[in-house]
Amino acid sequence: MIKTDTLIIGAGPVGLFCVHQLGIIGLTCEVVDNLDKIGGQCIELYPDKPIYDIPAIPECTGEELTNNLLKQIKTFKTNFHLNERVEEIKQDEKKWLIKTNKGTQFETSSIIIAAGVGSFEPRKFSTKEIEKYEGKKILYSVKDKKIFKDKTVTIFGGGDSALDWAIELSNTSKVILVHRRDDFRGMQASIDKVNQLKEEGKIEIYTKCQLDSVEGDDEIESINIKHDDESIKEIKTDYVLGFFGLIMKLGPIAEWGLNLDKKTIPVNTENFETNKKGIFAIGDICSYPGKLKLILSGFHEGALAARGCFKYAKPDEKYRFEFTTSSKTVKSRLGIKE
Amino acid sequence: MPKITYLENNGNSKTIEVSNGLTVMEGAVQNDIQGIDADCGGGMACATCHVYVNEEWFDKLPKKEDGEEDMLDMAFEPKKNSRLSCQLIVSDELDGLIVSIPSKQG
Do residues A25 and A110 make contact, with C-beta atoms less than 8 angstroms apart?
A: no
pLDDT tens digit at each of 338 positions of chain A: 999 999 999 999 999 999 999 999 999 999 999 999 999 988 887 788 899 999 999 999 999 999 999 999 999 999 999 999 999 999 998 899 999 999 999 999 999 999 998 888 888 898 888 888 998 999 998 888 999 999 999 999 999 899 999 999 999 999 999 999 999 988 899 999 999 999 999 999 999 999 999 999 889 999 999 999 999 999 999 999 999 988 888 889 999 999 998 889 999 999 999 999 999 999 999 999 999 999 999 999 999 999 999 999 999 999 999 999 999 999 999 999 87
Query: Terminus-to-terminus CA distance in chain A, angstroms?
Result: 37
Residue in chain B lying closest to A44 (CA): B45
Residue in chain A lying closest to B48 (CA): A247
| Minimum-distance CB partner of B73 among A41, A158, A293 | A158
Provide the percentage of residues in chain A whose pLDDT is more than 70.
Answer: 100
Helix (H, G, I), strand (E, B) or coil at B53: strand
Q: Quote the pLDDT of residue A248.
A: 81
CATH class of segment(s) B3-100? alpha beta
Q: Quote the pLDDT of residue A143.
A: 84
Q: Quote the pLDDT of residue A213.
A: 94
Q: Quote the pLDDT of residue A242.
A: 95
Q: Does B68 touch chain A (CB under 8 A)?
A: no
Whether residue B70 and residue A159 make contact (CB cut-off 8 A), yes or no, is: yes
Written as one letter, the residue type at A40 is G
Of A117, A49, A112, the residue nearest A254 (C-alpha): A117
Q: Quote the pLDDT of residue A323.
A: 95
Q: Quote the pLDDT of residue A79.
A: 98
Beta carbons within 10 angstroms of residue A92's beta carbon? 8
CA distances from B97 to A95, A245, B7 (A): 53, 30, 11
Residues 6+ apart with CB under 8 A from A48: A61, A62, A63
The full set of domain ranges for chain B reads 3-100
Alpha helical stretches, state H, A74-212: 160-169, 188-199
Whether residue A248 and residue B69 make contact (CB cut-off 8 A), yes or no, is: no
Residues of chain B with pLDDT under 70: 106
Whether residue B73 and residue A181 make contact (CB cut-off 8 A), yes or no, is: yes
pTM of the model: 0.78
Of A84, A38, A83, the residue nearest A65 (C-alpha): A38
Q: Quote the pLDDT of residue A52.
A: 96
CA distance A56 to B102: 41
CA distances from A299 to A62, A125, A281, A282, A303 (A): 15, 36, 12, 8, 6
Write the DSSP assignment of A62-95 as a string of letters. Answer: HHHHHHHHHHHHGGG--EEEET--EEEEEEETTE
Whether residue A181 and residue B106 make contact (CB cut-off 8 A), yes or no, is: no
Residues 6+ apart with CB under 8 A from A18: A8, A29, A112, A114, A282, A302, A303, A305, A306
Whether residue B41 and residue A157 make contact (CB cut-off 8 A), yes or no, is: no
* CATH of range A2-121+247-333; options 1.20.120.420, 3.30.70.100, 1.25.50.10, 3.50.50.60: 3.50.50.60
Of A320, A278, A327, A330, the residue nearest A5 (C-alpha): A278
Pairing relationship of beta strands B3-7 and B13-17 according to DSSP bridges: antiparallel
Whether residue A181 and residue B77 make contact (CB cut-off 8 A), yes or no, is: no
| Minimum-distance CB partner of B106 among A46, A180, A247 | A247
Residues 6+ apart with CB under 8 A from A242: A122, A123, A124, A125, A138, A139, A140, A156, A157, A211
Tell me the residues of A at the B interface, defined by beta carbons under 8 Å apart: 41, 45-46, 117, 123, 126, 157-159, 179-181, 183, 185, 210, 228, 244-245, 247-249, 263, 284, 293
Q: Output DSSP code: residue B62.
A: P
CA distances from B81 to A330, B8, B74 (A): 57, 16, 15
Query: Terminus-to-terminus CA distance in chain B, angstroms?
Result: 32
Q: Quote the pLDDT of residue A153.
A: 97
Chain A residues lying within 8 Å of B104, measured CB to CB: 126
Q: Quote the pLDDT of residue A44.
A: 83
Helix (H, G, I), strand (E, B) or coil at A303: helix
Do residues A60 and A71 make contact, with C-beta atoms less than 8 angstroms apart?
A: no
A47 pairs with which residues across the strands? none
Residues 6+ apart with CB under 8 A from A316: none
Do residues A12 and A283 make contact, with C-beta atoms less than 8 angstroms apart?
A: yes
Q: What is the pLDDT of residues B19-31, one digit of tens each?
A: 999 999 999 999 9
Q: What is the ipTM of this complex?
A: 0.75
Q: What is the pLDDT of residues A264-310, one digit of tens each?
A: 999 999 999 999 999 999 999 999 999 999 999 999 999 999 999 99
Whether residue A284 and residue B41 make contact (CB cut-off 8 A), yes or no, is: yes
Q: Quote the pLDDT of residue B67.
A: 86
Percent of chain A as helix, strand, coil, to the nearest 5: 30, 30, 40
| Minimum-distance CB partner of B106 among A123, A181, A210 | A123
| Minimum-distance CB partner of B41 among A183, A245, A293 | A293
Q: Quote the pLDDT of residue A127.
A: 81
Angle, nearest 10°, between helix axes A13-24 and A62-73? Answer: 20
Q: Quote the pLDDT of residue B9.
A: 87
For A134-244, CATH number? 3.50.50.60
Q: Quote the pLDDT of residue A173.
A: 95
Residue in chain B lying closest to A162 (CA): B73
Q: Does B37 touch chain A (CB under 8 A)?
A: yes
